[in-house]
Amino acid sequence: MRAAGFSIAAVALVFTQGVYPQGAAIPRHPRDLKYQPLAYTPPKPADFRHKLSNGATAFLVEDHDFPLISVNVLVRTGDYLDPAGKVGLASLTGNQMRSGGTKSKPPAVFDEEVAFLAAQLSSAMADFNGSASLNCLSKDTDAGLALLVDMLRNPGFAEDRLKLAKNQIMQTMERRNDNAPDIEQREFRRLVRGDKHFSTLQSTKASVESITREDLAGFHRKYYYPANFVFAVSGDFKTPELLAKLEKALSGWPNGTEAVPPVPKPDYTPKPGLYVVDKKGVNQGRVRMGHLGVTFDNPDHIALNVMNGILGGSAFTSRITSRVRSDEGLAYQAASIFQHGTYYEGVFAAVFQSKSPSVAQAITIVNEEIAKLQNTKVTPEELTTEMNSLIDSFPRRFSTASLKAGQFANDLFNKQPDDYWIKYRDRVRAVTADEIQRVAKKYLGPDRMVILAVGELDAMAKGNPDKPQFSLDKLSGGRGLTKIPLPDPLTMVYPAN
């Protein structure tokens, strides 16, 4: 084993270290400290991009500090491709590719080989992509790549492992209504996306039971081939040699002929209002409140990032955290997120958890902060803090070889323009207080808010006797609240209210 020194990685980076003035007194306040400028140019994806002969793209970023190699693969497939009646098939295919051995090696043999190499090998499915990854000692690159490609190309889908996985899924399914965070995520998604979109369809006992080994093999055959892969490779290798190894490993693997279907957009307008899931046995209410957001190609998304940072995205320097948590002590977590969707609108949401009696007060505060952002300009100090934060922490996005390769692969997969990060900081710098007020008015909708609280309804409705001015009743504006019943966990049928 070689000793790992810490060498200088090849990054486009200029940093002049100034001479430290010895003996100078400690400045009274950190604003009096003087810093050398930090010049930084982000790496260009084109310098690391390679097109393989059978259509796959690979980003290769060398890093020789440690004798390790990491290979990540993004695959054009996803949960959205579950066939009707078989919700859960994509996800099962993703994990059974790793668990079910390969055509030539039963699971026990395959797993032993991986374990003896001390490699990490995985396969999984997400909404809009499949993924696989290998991490092993660089001396084992050939053996590791062979295992990865065998898994990707020739999964065995052993019956006994599939049976076990289905049994485990069913057992977990029974617990669907026990964990408050799970309920909160699931029901909020239904409230903003409706019941019909793939992203809210839940697997059921029947759908999982109906999934067969042939279904897995069929799903795999349809989407797993080189032209659908984007590789992100980082670590201890020489680029030309690794390219040759990848070419060899993928050779003779024919591409599919059917195009991967596009991601379906949700067709649903959320109904604003106050919704409650009455969850017994907890002393805290979990709240998620928001509405639809924007897509990534919306030119306002950078201004929205800055706006959301000030509202609730930047922890203690943001308004929601500051008021709900540090002013009032009403929550441990209190924040907001403004997601930009790649395929359709993302979601804006403020989230917190507070003891049942103070839930109404905390919701009121969040509403006030949203209105304030629309009605008054953010202060210059808030704007500078948020902008500096985004600009000065920027180099950290690319601080390791694996972050670089991963970012490039993701951007290509999501069709981000090559110069997105090159231009990013200038776009942040161009945001003004007027601009923030404009996007707050345009994209935040107090009258569109869907407010979901998961907790003990009685305790939340009773409120805090010391603060009678806050109540769920007032929040609902006299329209009353809508109770969401818990579904049967195995059929996902919701009882009538």
* Core vs surface per residue 301-321: b (16+ CB within 10 A) or e: bbbbbbbbbbbbbbeeebbbb
Stretch that binds other proteins, among 193-201, 207-215, 263-271, 317-325 (CB under 8 A): 317-325
Out of 41, 251, 326, 375, the residue judged to bind other proteins by CB under 8 A: 326
Q: What is the contact mask toward other proteins in residues 232 to 271, using x (rule: CB under 8 A)? A: ----------------------------------------
- Looking at the Cβ atoms of 43 and 266, the one nearer to other proteins is 43
Three-state secondary structure call for residue 249? helix
DSSP classification of residue 5: -
Q: Token digits for 368?
A: 């006030």
**Residue 26 binds other proteins (CB under 8 A):** yes
Q: Residue 353 and residue 321: Cα distance in Å, rounded?
A: 12
Residue in 342, 347, 304 with CA at minimum distance from that of residue 192: 347
303: Cβ contacts below 8 Å, ≥ 6 apart = 431, 435, 436, 438, 439
Q: Which of residues 192-221 bind other proteins (CB under 8 A)?
A: none
**Residue 278 binds other proteins (CB under 8 A):** yes
Stretch that binds other proteins, among 53-61, 84-92, 174-182, 265-273 (CB under 8 A): 174-182
CB of 433: closest distance to other proteins in angstroms? 16
Q: What is the contact mask toward other proteins in residues 88 to 107, using x (rule: CB under 8 A)? A: -----------x--------
In this structure, the number of other CB atoms found within 10 A of the CB of residue 104 comes to 10
CB of 80: closest distance to other proteins in angstroms? 27
User: With contact defined as beta carbons under 8 Å apart, do 132 and 75 qualify?
Assistant: yes
Stretch that binds other proteins, among 222-230, 268-276, 283-291, 296-304 (CB under 8 A): 283-291
**Residue 112 binds other proteins (CB under 8 A):** yes
- Looking at the Cβ atoms of 392 and 434, the one nearer to other proteins is 392
**Residue 476 binds other proteins (CB under 8 A):** no
Q: Residue 361 and residue 330: Cα distance in Å, rounded?
A: 9
CB of 7: closest distance to other proteins in angstroms? 8
DSSP output for 396-431: GGGSSHHHHHHHHHHHHHTT--TTHHHHHHHHHHT-
Q: Which of residues 365-424 bind other proteins (CB under 8 A)?
A: 381, 384-386, 388-389, 391-393, 395-396, 398-400
**Residue 459 binds other proteins (CB under 8 A):** no
Q: Residue 28 and residue 5: Cα distance in Å, rounded?
A: 40
Out of 329, 417, 446, 480, the residue judged to bind other proteins by CB under 8 A: 329
CB of 334: closest distance to other proteins in angstroms? 9
Q: Token digits for 83?
A: 């066939």
